Chain A
């Protein structure tokens, strides 16, 4: 989806994706039942401008993590393209190695993502050495980065992951991600497992590091408050599709898509005197297996009508893009004024 606007993009985005698709096949245990398909990610496009943070929110099963794994080339897309600084990324082994050097990832489970048999220093120096950095230089980097993420190198380099708290381990994971001097870091629920007071510390650290190292972030989370705080742009996913994306203040202040509205209205009110009185939508998000051909939110949407049996495109609405028939009055949805 290229921009047809009058102003050409000023700069090349750090990372971008065009029409990514990924479907997994579920095989029924050989008893002759037909295979079923999980539409994990469909028609997924975005630009990540240099130096900005793109937040991805959604509920479980919406394809957030598959998106992260597609962007890291950990799973192969069925179709679509990923560009790093405008250059298409090939899947040749050497290109991938270079790509992963520039795009790093921090996972949710801080202990499962560290090798329990390696000391902190070994964990951080491992990747640079694979990429041909000398042991001495890699160590120097490790010490510098540990110090930067707030762990005293003299105390921590020789320790093993189990000797650290969750917050400390996540700091190690951040240091390790930075050791290759990447341009983009993808955080997949990276602060979700931390206590609130530790989460605040880590978020502050991430903001400092972004400015200091000139990084661009993709920040995946189910926590709407965290995403609002850290992101410049936000992308809301529902059952494998982007339903709305745009500048974070605009999406949070005037959500257009009925799902975005429901999601934001579901946030607990912090004021005990102004409690939520009714749930915005009922039921659970359905499973992404064997989806109907039309709008994926239609079965839970209060505004659904016959036109919603066809798949809506992402429609431009000011600076945001909304995947809903109501976003364009010309499409003939009778309640189009609802989201204008």
Chain B
């Protein structure tokens, strides 16, 4: 009976472009238990946002090819169509985006947007849906929620809009919440409030969450497990403590040591040289090899598999035993 809530096997996302197909997500495996928080960290172009959009099935179908196996609570997500797909989006799985100003509809009030979502996914009266909307705004701790129901998004501050967006995402009681850099556009003192709110709601409502961020500190605050993505592949995964306190993959090590957080002023930061590869021209074998200080010819021979390293940890590096 112990099936995970979400399981993705060999998930691959290809975009058809005039210059030929580009593989943005390249055969990743993900599993997520009920009530668990997975943090995905990576730089721009690593495929973290595309993964999220593939999970919610909101990538434009005419231009995208999603392959692999994706199951949520036993449901085959990739074969969903029509009504089932509409019920899945926002019902089973919902998403909080980075920029609440553009993700909310500017011509409807917050109350209307939340109650419409509730009515779309549950058979309730207009009045009950309004009551649910009020309850949601209270839940995300928006001050004077009753009067805020009648506000348009532009009448709210950035932090409040993001709270409203979280209320909207949670209104239909999803089993899985996808959060794509939800705090990146917020100010520092507001960011920590939203992180704490998400952590609390996640615990109270027991939903699983995937939290995408480029900020290692934010990932540390919220994740149970962490997956590190590079050029469309997962290069290292494990518990938050395993990955962040004792990174094994050279890219994770580089990413953590290149943050200014622990750097001593006056001494150079240990930056990773070069930049991430162009997805249209991927290097052979390990995608990180051209920037890796430890790369040998073996790294170019084949794409390294994720291998178990004790505990929850799995790392995709052929030289792991030699360099450890």
CB of A129 closer than 8 Å to a CB of B: no
B255 lies within 8 A of A196 (CB): yes
CB of B28 closer than 8 Å to a CB of A: no
Which listed segment binds A: B8-16, B19-27, B106-114, B183-191? B183-191
Contact with A along B227-261 (1 / 0, CB 8 A): 00000000000011100110000000011001111
Interface residue total, chain B, C-beta cutoff 8 A = 47
B263 lies within 8 A of A279 (CB): no
Bound Cα distance from A273 to B221, whole angstroms: 9
CB of B297 closer than 8 Å to a CB of A: no
Shortest B22–chain A CB gap in Å is: 16
User: Among residues 182 to 220 in chain A, which have CB atoms less than 8 Å away from a CB atom of chain B?
Assistant: 195-201, 203-204, 207
Bound Cα distance from A267 to B259, whole angstroms: 14
Shortest B229–chain A CB gap in Å is: 13
Interchain CB contact (< 8 A) of A272 among B143, B240, B268:
B240
Contact with A along B244-288 (1 / 0, CB 8 A): 110000000011001111110110111111011000000000000
Interchain CB contact (< 8 A) of A229 among B158, B269, B272:
B269
B244 lies within 8 A of A268 (CB): no
B245 lies within 8 A of A271 (CB): yes
B189 lies within 8 A of A248 (CB): no
Bound Cα distance from A273 to B276, whole angstroms: 30
Contact with B along A10-45 (1 / 0, CB 8 A): 000000000000000000000000000000000000
B272 lies within 8 A of A197 (CB): yes
Determine the residue in chain A with the shortest Cβ distance to B258.
A200
Shortest B42–chain A CB gap in Å is: 9
A279 lies within 8 A of B220 (CB): no
A281 lies within 8 A of B269 (CB): no
Contacts of B102 in A (CB 8 A): none
Contacts of B259 in A (CB 8 A): 196, 200, 225, 270
Contacts of B245 in A (CB 8 A): 271-273
Contacts of B196 in A (CB 8 A): 276, 278-279
A59 lies within 8 A of B189 (CB): yes
Bound Cα distance from A267 to B218, whole angstroms: 9
Asked if A268 meets B214 with Cβ closer than 8 Å, knowing A197-B254, A225-B261, the reply is no
Contacts of B265 in A (CB 8 A): 228-231, 248
CB of A275 closer than 8 Å to a CB of B: yes
Determine the residue in chain B with the shortest Cβ distance to A277.
B196
Determine the residue in chain A with the shortest Cβ distance to B220.
A272
Shortest B192–chain A CB gap in Å is: 4
Contacts of A287 in B (CB 8 A): 157
CB of A333 closer than 8 Å to a CB of B: no
Determine the residue in chain A with the shortest Cβ distance to B271.
A200
A59, A248, A281, A284: residue with the most chain B Cβ atoms closer than 10 Å: A284
Bound Cα distance from A218 to B189, whole angstroms: 23
Contact with B along A90-133 (1 / 0, CB 8 A): 00000000000000000000000000000000000000000000
A272 lies within 8 A of B241 (CB): yes
Interface magnitude class on chain A: 35 or more
CB of B202 closer than 8 Å to a CB of A: no
Contacts of B192 in A (CB 8 A): 266-268, 276, 279-280
B221 lies within 8 A of A276 (CB): yes
CB of A167 closer than 8 Å to a CB of B: yes
Contacts of A201 in B (CB 8 A): 271, 273
Asked if A195 meets B260 with Cβ closer than 8 Å, knowing A203-B269, A268-B191, the reply is no
Bound Cα distance from A284 to B255, whole angstroms: 31
Contacts of A4 in B (CB 8 A): none
A196 lies within 8 A of B258 (CB): yes
Interchain CB contact (< 8 A) of A207 among B159, B215, B268, B275:
B268
Bound Cα distance from A165 to B275, whole angstroms: 9
Interchain CB contact (< 8 A) of A275 among B43, B157, B220:
B220
B43 lies within 8 A of A263 (CB): no
A275 lies within 8 A of B221 (CB): yes
Bound Cα distance from A281 to B159, whole angstroms: 13
Bound Cα distance from A266 to B270, whole angstroms: 25
Asked if A272 meets B214 with Cβ closer than 8 Å, knowing A195-B44, A229-B265, the reply is no
| Closest CB pairs A-B (n = 9) | A268-B217, A200-B271, A272-B240, A59-B187, A200-B258, A195-B43, A284-B157, A229-B260, A200-B269
Return 25 A-B CB contacts under 8 Å, by A number.
A167-B275, A195-B214, A196-B214, A196-B258, A197-B255, A197-B258, A197-B272, A198-B275, A199-B260, A200-B259, A200-B271, A203-B260, A222-B187, A223-B260, A224-B188, A225-B259, A230-B260, A266-B191, A267-B192, A268-B215, A270-B220, A275-B220, A280-B189, A283-B159, A284-B190
Show the binding face of A for B, using Cβ within 8 Å: 59-60, 165, 167, 195-201, 203-204, 207, 222-226, 228-231, 248, 262-263, 266-273, 275-276, 278-285, 287
